[in-house]
Structure 1
Amino acid sequence: MSRSTTLQLIAAAITIAVLAVLHQGLDWFFHLMSVDYALGVMTGAVVVLLVWFYEDRKDRLSRAVGDIPSAEQQRARHSIDL
């Protein structure tokens, strides 16, 4: 067996072990929570991810179009020029 194959097998075994521990830990954690708390956490996570996705997409589109840089970027460029 080559060195890269051995390293890939070790990495796969470590990944499986980490996922198994994570699964057991999250299962224990969610059984301790109430349903309202779990729904609040999931709702908050979804809202944060949606806002993050929206802002990232807006930023990528403005860079693709060659839009005017934001004031924060302009401020950083001016301070670098000084």
Structure 2
Amino acid sequence: MKYLIIILSIAALASVAGGFIFETEYSQKMIGFGVAGLFFLVFPLFSYYRWKDKKFSDYMLTKENLEKMREKGKENKY
């Protein structure tokens, strides 16, 4: 998965760069496909890859998590 994300990122960025560098009749389409690839393929795959083993409840502001944050704040005071 990691290598797929890297390859797709490089391909999308190369498409955008190629669209700016090469003056062809379809250079704006290259830029558009590169941006769309980043937006619709690379970013969702990256987000899924980074968050797949995380618990959503760890990032919610529940009473238990607020208490943990308050306890850590008291311990870290100078």
* TM-score in terms of structure 1 length: 0.36
As a proportion of its length, which structure holds more helix? 1
Greater Rg over alpha carbons, structure? 1
Q: Which has the higher contact order (CA 8 A, sep 6+)?
A: 2
